[in-house]
Amino acid sequence: MSRPKPPESAKLIVGLFTPEKSLCRPVVAKLEKKFGPTDYISRWLSFDYTDYYVAEMGQPLFRRICSFQPLIAQEQLPQIKLFTNELELEWTHAGRRRINLDPGYLLPSRFVMATGKNFAHRIYLGQSIYADLTLLYEKGRFHALPWTYPDYADPGLQSVLGQIRANYMDALAA
């Protein structure tokens, strides 16, 4: 028989992409006010994997990945996604989002993202939010799954997540 035990604390990650780099600073400030200080913000990464967002947001799109110092309880992910949805609405103009925020969490073995979109591989968490198992970590690196978004399957973005994971693992060991 399995014996339930509390899940480990997770590293909060928020991916953001926007055609307006100047939005990064005020959005990250609001995220820090809510979740605590960032301990990593990536350089700007290109975002040319899909045209899905071009009609709404324009182009070119630029991506950044942020992680936050305080660890979170995994069950907080739905509330975090609802908060980031509110921030997206705050910067919406004329019905068009100017920034997209993708929260998720990192554990030693995986990276999980929150989404409001149901699909066969997604697990319902509550509050109309689903968990998307995006990447697995095995044998010293991240591995994409058949449904992993192309930008998260990219070695450059996985390298960023690898740096964040290394810092997270060091903090867990301390």
pLDDT in tens, 125-136: 999 999 999 999
3-state secondary structure of 7: coil
Going by the DSSP 8-state scheme, the letter that residue 22 receives in this structure is G
Question: What is the pLDDT, as a whole number, of residue 161?
Answer: 97
3-state secondary structure of 133: strand
Inter-residue contact 111 to 15 (CB < 8 Å): no
**pLDDT above 90 (res 174):** no
Domain residue extents for the chain: 10-173
Beta carbons within 10 angstroms of residue 27's beta carbon? 22
Rounded CA separation 62/21 (Å): 7
Backbone φ and ψ for 31, nearest 5 degrees, come out as -65, -40
Rounded CA separation 145/148 (Å): 5
Q: Among the listed ranges 9-13, 92-96, 170-174, which one has the minimum average pLDDT value?
A: 170-174
Q: Which CATH architecture has domain 10-173?
A: 2-Layer Sandwich (3.30)
Rounded CA separation 154/98 (Å): 23
pTM: 0.95
pLDDT tens for residues 7-58? Answer: 999 999 999 999 999 999 999 999 999 999 999 999 998 777 788 888 899 9
- What token pair was written down for 90? 């705050």
Rounded CA separation 123/57 (Å): 28
